Amino acid sequence: MYVDAHIHLYADEFDMDREEVLKDAYRNDVELILSVSEDYETSIKNLDILRIYRPRYKIYLGLGIHPYTAIYNPDDLTKTVELISQYHDTIIAIGEVGLDKKYPDAMKYWDRQVEAFEKMIQLSIEYFKPLNIHSRRAAKDVLSLLRKYDVKLAYFHWYTDDEETLKEIVEEGYYVGFTPALLTSKRIQRYTEIVPLTQVFTESDGPVRYYGPLKNSRGEPKHIPLIVNKLAELYEVEVEEAIIVIRENFKRLFRLQYG
């Protein structure tokens, strides 16, 4: 059983065939799927998706304010905080949340980003829900906020920052996600020399598109086995072992019980 620890199932690109995407995931043994949200509207849509598909598929939810939302739509913060409080028993993560230094107005509205992320960190602690984190060009800043609040449960999705910060992330016991970018990027492949397999997650970040062998298709959970095959090669373990370790990682961080 494979893990997709970060996907945007609410995305419009999945509106036409969401059920097919989930069926394809299952046909490829990708059965643990964590769908994250980025603002109030997508949080609501994800809750609807959970109601519709949860009986048949092992979908789990993260609700949160993405740094993009914090910058461009700051009014969403208050009502999303209320929504998380209301549904804290339904979700398993706070996400997608974090900090970003690449968006055009990222620095202009840095204070907004920090305010939203700190609020998300507080909810994570209050409800004992791991953070599903976006940290583009801001991993150092994310790390210092996690330390400030003594956060224990955190997952850096699709990490792309420097190796020194990655070492510190690993030392803190946080988890790190690999997308299909692992298949083509030597820089990302080198991260596997820093992150022990026991702190690794796999994720599609669907519907995000990738270069390389997947360049003509939408990012989907069915691609996860390709990532695991590459991880098995890089970590020099059997594919079956990589599958088991990553599944146990998911279970450990998100405290799930399943068959």
Q: Which is nearer to Zn ion, 31 or 96 (CB)?
A: 96
**Contacting residues for 10 by C-beta, under 8 A, at least 6 apart:** 35, 37, 42, 45, 46, 49
Number of residues that bind Zn ion (CB under 5 A): 1
| Minimum CB–partner distance for residue 238 and Zn ion (Å) | 30
Number of Cβ within a 10 Å radius of residue 101:
17
* Residue whose CB is nearest to Zn ion in the complex, by number: 205
Do the beta carbons of residue 73 and residue 39 sit within 8 Å?
A: yes
| Minimum CB–partner distance for residue 233 and Zn ion (Å) | 25
Can you tell me whether residue 15 is helix, strand or coil?
Answer: coil
| Binding piece for Zn ion, criterion CB under 5 A, among 26-34, 74-82, 115-123, 201-209 | 201-209
* Phi, psi for 3 (deg, rounded to 5): -120, 130
Give the pairing of strands 2-7 and 30-35.
parallel
Q: Which is nearer to Zn ion, 155 or 191 (CB)?
A: 155
Subset of residues 117 to 136 that bind Zn ion, contact rule: CB under 5 A = none
| Minimum CB–partner distance for residue 240 and Zn ion (Å) | 28
| Minimum CB–partner distance for residue 94 and Zn ion (Å) | 14
Using CB under 5 A as the binding rule, whether residue 220 contacts Zn ion is answered as no
| Minimum CB–partner distance for residue 38 and Zn ion (Å) | 8
x-or-dash string of contact with Zn ion, 152-191, rule CB under 5 A: ----------------------------------------
| Minimum CB–partner distance for residue 50 and Zn ion (Å) | 17
Strands (E), the chain: 2-7, 30-35, 59-63, 93-98, 131-134, 154-156, 175-178, 200-202
| Minimum CB–partner distance for residue 36 and Zn ion (Å) | 6
Q: Which is nearer to Zn ion, 110 or 158 (CB)?
A: 158
Q: Which amino acid is at 57?
A: Y
As a whole number of angstroms, the distance between CA 70 and CA 99 comes to 9
| Binding piece for Zn ion, criterion CB under 5 A, among 49-57, 70-78, 167-175, 202-210 | 202-210
Among the listed residues 224, 257, 256, 254, the one whose alpha carbon sits nearest the alpha carbon of residue 36: 254
Using CB under 5 A as the binding rule, whether residue 205 contacts Zn ion is answered as yes
Q: Which amino acid is at 189?
A: Q
Using CB under 5 A as the binding rule, whether residue 31 contacts Zn ion is answered as no
Burial of 88 (0-12, 13-18, 19+ CB in 10 A): middle
Reading the block at residue 191, the tokens are 């991260």
As a whole number of angstroms, the distance between CA 59 and CA 228 comes to 20
Q: Which is nearer to Zn ion, 99 or 245 (CB)?
A: 99
Sites of contact with Zn ion (CB under 5 A): 205
